[in-house]
Amino acid sequence: MLDLKSKPFYLNDSDINWVNTTLNSMTEEEKIAQLFCLITYTDDENYLKYLAGILKVGGVMTRTMSLDELCNTVTRLQTNAKIPMLISANLEAGLNQACYTGTRVGCEMGIAATNDAHYATELGSIIGEEASALGINWSFAPIIDIDYNFRNPITNTRTFGSNPKTVAEFGKAYVEEVQKYGIAASIKHFPGDGVDERDQHLLASVNTMSTDEWDKTYGVAYKTSIDAGAKTVMVGHIMQPAYSKLLNPTLKDEDVLPGLIAKELLNGLLREKLGFDGLIVTDSSTMAGIGTVMPREKAVPLTIAAGCDMFLFTKNLEEDMAFMTAGVKNGVITKERLDEAVTRILALKASLKLHEKSNIPNKEKAMEIVGCAEHRKIEREVADNSITLVKEEKGVLPISKEKYKRVLVYKKEGGKSAFGGGAAQGACDSFVEKLKNNGFDVTVFVPDGGWEGMAKPVKEMTDNYDLIIYLVSMATKSNQTIVRIEWAEPMGADVPVYMHTIPTIAISLENPYHLIDMPRVKTYINTYGGTDAILDSLLDKLLGKSEFTGVSPVDAFCGKWDTRL
């Protein structure tokens, strides 16, 4: 029997009666449908009626939309749902990841770089206010992964950094605050990303820590948020062999499974050792990690049988629902396990009081709250307090048009972040315009195409430019194996080689680890994003109008001795 009156649901007798009455009124087909949290990129009425009214799924995650579209989406889902729905979004950096006009408070690493947990509370507060105004009731955040491996192409600025104490403290602050607004937090990605350098979107990655190491790091982060009342945990396509083998000594290497299908991790570690009694949701089932270890027909029902309560997304809707249904029919998912999972789903909804309110957003009220001036003020504060001067050559800063009139800019750009929290496309161009508007003569570098013996003489560079600025905007994104600078042809035409004769500043708008590829640059800055608020603050600091106060939440020197030169 589940104790629904205790942490994290804290249901009263009326809530519990609704859960039990609803469960007992459901058909087996309806129970299976509740296990699914699907996705929508659109407010198309027919599609949403199909999800809510015909399939009767338990929840839907929204991708980024306009405010009107998002209000329409939530209204159509909740209006057509027999049982109120969980409406989720990836709210890691702000409401901008769900609504175009939402506030991007700051990515988690930017929040951590302020060195003030107050801003993690502000992140949770702003997300809570804006999300609840739009009818969103489930945040797939905070990320409490620990960014130990600078080569990991996914965790990066989405984390609170590499210090477990900071991750635990800031994660707790987010959880406690966002849940005050009727938004369930989902701490992720259990059993912990950031150790492996590989992407769990592409394979089942590995957390290689010993059990003692895990307890002191990821264990502390998870236990802190669980004790703080986190209602849900998202489990990843990540293996933790040390704990799997400790909890099940019969396992061979080939039997070790990623968290979302590892019974010993879900029950022995998460439920029993860490004391979590809330809802467990899988990470996206469309990621390749689960498919690299077993056939999908087997994996889909095994997620629930092993201990997850909800199944996130589908690769093929009809097929995956058929796989899940077959798992119930053939006993892979027992009737008891099905009822337990659905009970937790209903209990989460009851804990958010979805059964007692309309759940329909008020568009006019939402327009007053989402992206409001008060929230934008905090966004600017985070930008100002987070930008980090990692290393500095004496005498280069501050810059001015009198000191460095002629500026050569090298732009190094990657694709737009798939997670919606990174720099806007065109951030480098925007910053170039800001330099021009402040009186600098700016030239953007274009490779000549010459080979050996044909490069411009050094004197031509020194005669024409007073300052070189490298602008690097390369965000992490799904299905990416590495985030590294690729230098231009011919022969690394834009590699920093003039820094010995021309003052040079390197600025990373995203990945904090680019010193690995430009180790001897003597002035290097991390901004953790490329929004207008960040770019304006960056310029103020370069011009000497504002001090650099950010503290790096990670080793920006990547453990290399030459990056400190």
At how many degrees (to 10) do helices 296-306 and 317-329 cross?
60
Which residue from 74, 308, 91 is spatially nearest to 190, judged by alpha carbons?
308
Which one from 283, 320, 384, 517 is the annotated catalytic residue? Answer: 283
Whole-number Å distance between alpha carbons of 29 and 14 = 26
Q: Where are the beta strands (DSSP E) in 254-319?
A: 279-282, 311-312
Determine the residue type at 9: F
Whole-number Å distance between alpha carbons of 418 and 478 = 6
Under a CB-based contact definition with an 8 Å cutoff, are residues 476 and 154 in contact? yes
Whole-number Å distance between alpha carbons of 435 and 91 = 32
Say what the alpha-carbon torsion angle 164, 165, 168, 171 is, to the nearest 10 degrees.
-100
CA 89-91-94 angle, 5° bins = 135
Per DSSP bridges, beta strands 524-526 and 504-508 are parallel
CA dihedral sign of residues 48, 51, 56, 58:
negative
The one-character DSSP state at 270 is I
Rg (CA), the chain: 25
Clarify whether 116 is annotated catalytic. Answer: no
Under a CB-based contact definition with an 8 Å cutoff, are residues 321 and 32 in contact? yes
CA 527-531-534 angle, 5° bins = 45
Q: For residue 14, what are the contacts with CB-CB under 8 A and spacing of at least 6?
A: none
Residues forming the active site: 283
